[in-house]
């Protein structure tokens, strides 16, 4: 039986455009894997604290530190990620990049000597690769001809998740949510089309 891990990053709960899109991705995955188990990790309200002192020390050296606090939380989140077959991240763009809650999750799951090792050639991920879908909502546009802002979100996620072994990333987005209902309807329709195209006839 397959497991889908849904990481929900908006503070806006059920109203979140990013999560509406994430749920559409989950629906598509479930069409292919009807028995898949869904694990929900809601972090949009700041449920994951920032990393603590012991954790920071452990990342800079191999000193013995307490395995409580962030170390324990990190282990819980890493195991959750390891057990998943698909990951669906629903996230808004905040200040051109990932919201701080998603960065806090990343700080817990990207862990030296656990999810990556440091070699003379650079950092090497230890996780088995698996499909990761990222559903983004943004107030303005960050890709295409009408983009008026840089995108530090998608390149960052690609780079930091590759560092732990996750290379198979697919991005969907609803862009321009601040431009009024017509623009949102148009952006949703485009995202729906991209989803259909991506999953049509595909074996997962």
Ligand X SMILES: Cc1cc2nc3c(=O)[nH]c(=O)nc-3n(C[C@H](O)[C@H](O)[C@H](O)COP(=O)(O)O)c2cc1C
Residues that bind ligand X (CB under 6 A): 10, 12, 16-18, 92-96, 137-140, 149, 177
Q: Smallest gap, in angstroms, from Cβ of residue 123 to ligand X?
A: 28
Q: In whole angstroms, give the CA distance from residue 104 to residue 42.
A: 12
Residue 33 backbone class (left: φ over 0; alpha: ψ -120 to 50; beta: rest):
beta
Q: Smallest gap, in angstroms, from Cβ of residue 16 to ligand X?
A: 4
Q: Smallest gap, in angstroms, from Cβ of residue 129 to ligand X?
A: 27
Biggest distance spanned by C-alpha atoms of the chain: 56
Residue 19 backbone class (left: φ over 0; alpha: ψ -120 to 50; beta: rest):
alpha
Q: Which of 78, 80, 102 is nearest to 92 (CA)?
A: 102
**Sign of the four-CA dihedral 118, 121, 126, 127:** positive
Cβ-based nearer residue to ligand X, 109 or 187: 187
Q: Which of 92, 96, 81 is nearest to 148 (CA)?
A: 96
65: Cβ–Cβ under 8 A, 6 or more apart, which residues?
54, 55, 57, 58, 71
Q: Smallest gap, in angstroms, from Cβ of residue 116 to ligand X?
A: 28
Q: Smallest gap, in angstroms, from Cβ of residue 132 to ligand X?
A: 18
Cβ-based nearer residue to ligand X, 78 or 157: 157
């Amino acid at each position: 039986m397959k497991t889908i891990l849904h990481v929900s990053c908006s503070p806006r709960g059920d109203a979140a455009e990013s999560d509406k899109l994430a749920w559409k991705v989950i629906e598509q995955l479930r069409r292919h894997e009807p028995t898949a188990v869904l694990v929900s990790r809601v972090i949009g309200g700041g449920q994951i604290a920032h990393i603590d002192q012991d954790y920071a020390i452990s990342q800079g050296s191999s000193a013995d530190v307490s395995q409580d606090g962030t170390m324990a939380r990190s282990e819980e989140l890493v195991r959750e990620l390891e057990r998943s077959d698909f990951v669906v991240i629903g996230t808004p763009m905040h200040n051109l990049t990932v919201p701080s809650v998603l960065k806090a999750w990343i700080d817990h799951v990207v862990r030296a000597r656990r999810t990556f090792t440091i070699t003379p050639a650079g950092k090497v991920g230890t996780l088995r690769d698996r499909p990761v879908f990222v559903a983004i909502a943004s107030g303005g546009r960050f890709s295409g001809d009408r983009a008026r802002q840089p995108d530090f979100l998608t390149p960052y996620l690609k780079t930091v998740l590759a560092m732990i072994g996750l290379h198979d990333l697919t991005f969907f987005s609803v862009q321009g949510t601040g431009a009024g209902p017509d623009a949102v309807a148009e952006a949703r329709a485009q995202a729906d089309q991209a989803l259909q195209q991506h999953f049509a006839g595909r074996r997962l």
